[in-house]
A and B are shown apart, each in its own frame.
Chain A
Amino acid sequence: MSLAFNEEQRALKDTARDFAQAQAPVEALRALRDAGSATAFDDATWQQLLELGWGGMLLPESYGGFDFGLKGLCAGMEEFGRTLVCSPLLSSVVLSGSAILAAGNEQQKLQWLPQIAAGELRFALALDEGVHHNPANIQTSAIRTADGFELSGCKQMVIDGIGADKLLVAALEASELGLYIVDPSATGVTLSRRQLADSRNYAQITLDKVAVAEQHKLSGSEDVAAALELALDNGRLALAAEQFGGIQAMFERTVEYLKERKQFGVHIGSFQALQHRAAKMYIEIQQSKTVLMDALSAVEADRPDRAARISAAKAKIGEIAELVTNEATQLHGGIGVTDELEVGFFLKRARVAQVLLGNSQYHYDRFARLSGY
C-alpha cells in the first residue's frame, strides 16, 4: 500500500532493467522492423522473459503464476519501456490472462492460465471495433446454435493478433457481453496485418459465422463487463508503466544532449529557454510518477478508487509522454528527426500507446465519471 516499490519489487525492476538493456535494447526493435517481422517480437527474447518468470507475474500460484501482483509487473514494464522491449507480455499475459482470471470458470482457468504463464499458448484480446478505444461499443454478435455459438463481426487494432494461438473475442449475445475463445485458424476467421508507426503487431480480424463451442465461452462471472473492465484496467496501468519508462529514457537522453551539444561556442543546455523547458519536463515527470505510484498503491490495497486512479495514470502519463517525446524531438534539432537517432522510435511508440486502451481524453473523461462528475 506504499507509494514506493518495496525491496522485492525493486529486485524485479533491476532484473528487468538488466535484461532489457543487455538483451532487448532499442536496436533490437530496429532490427525487427527492418526485417519486416509481422509478429514484431523475437521468439528467443520472449522465451528468455518467460524463463525469468514474467509470464506468471500476475497470476496466482494455483494457475501456474508467481503472484507478484500488478505492482511487481509494472516495475518491470517501466524498465521494458525504457528500451521499447517488444513482447506479448501485455496482450497475452496482462490483458488476456487477467480477463480469463476474472471471467473464466474454474475449469477454464485451470485449462488456459498455466499455458499462458508458461508461454505455451499466446492469446490476443480482440475487443475494439473502431479506431478509438471503446469497450462500450461492441457490435460483434454471438448467436446461440445447437452446440455453442456463431460469432460475426469485425475487430480493429488487435494487439499482437498476428500469429496468436488463441483469440479472446468480446461479443454480444442479444445485449449481453460475453468473452469467447476463438481459434484463429477456424473457418470464417480472417486476419490481416495492420502496420502502425510503432512497428509492432496489430491485426484486423473479421469473423464470419465462426463456430465456437459452448465450453469456450468464459462463464465464471455474473458480470462480464466488470470482469473485462478489470482486465483492461490491468492492461492500462501496465501500458502506462511502459510509457513512463519511455518518458524517462527520452528525458535522460535529452538532458544529456543539452549538456554535450555546442552551438554559438557554448553548450546549448546553458540557454535559459532550454533550461526552463527541461525543468518543466522534470516537474511533469515527477508528477506523473506520483500519479502512477498512487494508482499502483490503489491496486495493491484494492481501494474502491482503483479504476479512477488507473484512468488518472493513463491520462496523465499519455499527456506527458506526448510532451516529452515532442520536446525530445525538437531539442535534438536536425538529428532528432532522423531515423538514425532512436528518439523517433520513442515518439512513434508513445503515440500508439496513447491510443491503445484509451487515450488521455478518454481517461480524463472516465476519471471524471468515476469521480461523480
Chain B
Amino acid sequence: MSDLNAFRQEIRTWLEQNCPESMRTPATPEDQVWGGRNIQFPCEDAKLWFDRCVEKGYCVPDWPLEYGGAGFDRKQTAIFKKEMARLGCRPPQVNLGIWMAGPAILEFGTEEQKREHLPKIARGEIRWCQGYSEPGAGSDLANVQTKAESDGDDYIVNGTKIWTSYADHSDWIYCLTRTDKDAKKQEGISFLLFDMASAGVEAKPIELITGETHFCQTFFDNVRVPKANRLGEENKGWTVAKRVLEFERNMMADLEATIAADPIVLSQLAKQHLGEDPQGRIADPILRQAIARNEINKRALDLAMPRMGAEFAEGVGDPSLGMILKYAGTEEEKLKYELALKITGAQGLGWAGEGFSEADIKLTRDWLGVKTHSIAGGTSEVQLNIIAKRVLGLPDQ
C-alpha cells in the first residue's frame, strides 16, 4: 500500500512538472494528436507533451517496457489514469493502435510481431485503422466476404471494407478476411495485419450527411500479405475480433472521459430562442416538459454506473445494467438534438455561409452526427436483441 502511495506521489509530481498547462484542458476533436507517419501537432505544447510521454512510455503505460510501454501493473495503471484525470491531462496520443491493435497483438501476437509493431505504436510512428465492416457485413459482422487466398508464404487479399475510420490517414490496418469459404461463417475468418501502402490498397472517403468524411470505403485488389502478418491461427480470427470489440468499449470510455463535454444545455437554448413567460419559465410549455424529460433521462444514464457500483458495494450488483447504456445513451442523445432543432427553428438548420454562427452550424452537423451513434458499434436493434436474449432470456426462433 505504501509502495502504491509512493508511486502515486511520483506520478503526480511528474505530471505536474511535465504536462504543459494548456494540455490540462478538455480537448476538442481538432486538438487530438493522432500518431502515425504523418503525425501533426496542433501546437508546440502538444508536441512537448507527446515527446515527454513517449520517452516515459506513457502513451501506453500498461504495456511492458520492452515494447515501449511503462510496464505498469493494473493497480499502477489505474493510479496513473486517475492522476491524469485529476489534472485533466489530455491523452498525449490517440491511435487505434493503442486501444485495439496493440492490445490484440499483446494478447495473440508472436514475439516477433510484438517487437515489430508495439514500439511503433508506443512512439506514435504508425497509425492503425480497423477493417471490420463490409457492405454486406454490418450488424451481421461475421459475414465477412473479403477473401485471403493462400499463395506460398503469402495471402492474396481481395475485397472491400466499409466504415474504415480514417483509413485514408492510416498506415496499417487490422483486417478480418475469409480464409475458408466452406466453414461456418465465424469459423473461416483470419485476422490479418498489413501496410496500407501495399500495392492494391485504395481508401476512398465517404461523405456523411454531416458533410464530414472521416469514414472510408477501402478496396483491396490482389494485395499481397505475408502469412507472418496473421494474428492468431488461420481461421480463428473471430476469437481475436471479438476480443477487439471488447477493447473498443474501453476505448469509448477513455475517449468520453477526455473529450470536451457537450456544451448544449437545452433549457438555456430554449430560454434564448423561445423566451420566458412572466414567471421566468420557458415560454413553450410542451417543449419545457420535453426538455425536463430528456434531462431526467440523461441524468439517469449518468448515474447508471454509479448505481451499479453502489449495488456491487452492497453485494447486490447486477452487471446487466451496463447493457442498456449503448441503446439508451444514443437514443436519448438523438432525442436531445431533435429537441434542439425544435427549439432553434430555422436557425438550427444553418448549413454554411452568412446568417449563421459557428455554434448554429455545429448544431446542424451534430444533430446529423448523433444519427451515426445508434448505428456504429452495434445498432440499437442489435442492442435490443442482446438484451432480449442475454438479459431477459427470451428464446431464439
Contact = CB atoms under 8 A, between A and B. Distances in A.
A132 interface: no
Contact of A270 (B281, B289, B307, B397): B397
B391 A373 contact: no
Contacts of A365: 285, 288-289, 292
A253 interface: no
A207 interface: no
A10 interface: yes
B321 A369 contact: no
Interface in B369-397: 381, 383-385, 387-389, 391-397
A4 B392 contact: no
Interface in B257-297: 267, 270-271, 279-282, 285, 288-289, 291-293, 295-297
Given A10-B316, A290-B307, A279 B384 contact: yes
Contacts of B206: none
B324 A287 contact: yes
A370 B380 CA distance: 33
B307 A293 contact: yes
B314 A2 contact: yes
B395 A267 contact: yes
Contacts of B328: 283, 287
B306 interface: yes
Contacts of B183: none
Contact of B303 (A7, A272, A294): A294
B380 to A, nearest CB: 9
Given A7-B314, A316-B296, A275 B267 contact: no
A236 to B, nearest CB: 15
Interface string A51-74: 000000000000000000000000
Given A3-B303, A365-B289, A368-B291, A373 B270 contact: yes
B303 A373 contact: no
A7 B285 CA distance: 42
Contacts of B310: 2-4, 293
Interface in A340-373: 361, 364-365, 367-369, 371-373
B43 interface: no
A271 B392 CA distance: 13
B25 to A, nearest CB: 27
Contacts of A272: 385, 388
A276 interface: yes
Interface string A283-308: 10011111101100000000000000
Contact of A368 (B267, B306, B387): B267
A80 B288 CA distance: 34
B304 interface: yes
B271 A373 contact: yes
A95 interface: no
A368 B388 contact: no
Nearest to A316: B296
Interface residues of B, number: 46
Nearest to B391: A282
Contact of A259 (B297, B299, B314, B395): B395
B387 A282 contact: yes
Contacts of B387: 279, 282-283
Contacts of A258: 394
B313 interface: yes
A5 B387 CA distance: 25
B301 interface: yes
Contacts of A364: 288-289, 292-293, 296
A276 B388 contact: yes
B271 to A, nearest CB: 6
B327 interface: yes
B352 interface: no
Contact of B304 (A286, A315, A316): A286
B300 interface: yes
Interface string A36-51: 0000000000000000
A293 B310 CA distance: 11
Interface string B139-163: 0000000000000000000000000
B292 A287 contact: no
B307 A279 contact: no
B149 to A, nearest CB: 36
A10 B314 CA distance: 10
Nearest to A288: B300
Interface in A1-28: 2-7, 10
A368 B314 contact: no
Contacts of B299: 291, 294, 312
B8 to A, nearest CB: 26
Given A270-B395, A293-B307, A5 B292 contact: no
Given A259-B393, A283-B328, A5 B321 contact: no
Contacts of B384: 275-276, 279-280
A100 interface: no
A274 B393 CA distance: 13
B392 A278 contact: yes
B311 interface: yes
B391 A270 contact: no
A3 B302 CA distance: 12
Nearest to A267: B395
A312 B297 CA distance: 9
9 contacts: A3-B306, A255-B393, A275-B385, A276-B384, A282-B391, A288-B300, A293-B310, A312-B296, A316-B300
Which 5 residue pairs across A and B have the least CB separation, nearest first?
A: A275-B388, A4-B310, A279-B387, A373-B267, A270-B397
Given A279-B327, A279-B383, 19 more contacts: A2-B314, A10-B314, A266-B397, A269-B395, A272-B388, A275-B388, A275-B394, A282-B392, A287-B324, A290-B300, A290-B301, A290-B303, A294-B303, A365-B285, A368-B267, A368-B281, A371-B292, A372-B280, A373-B267
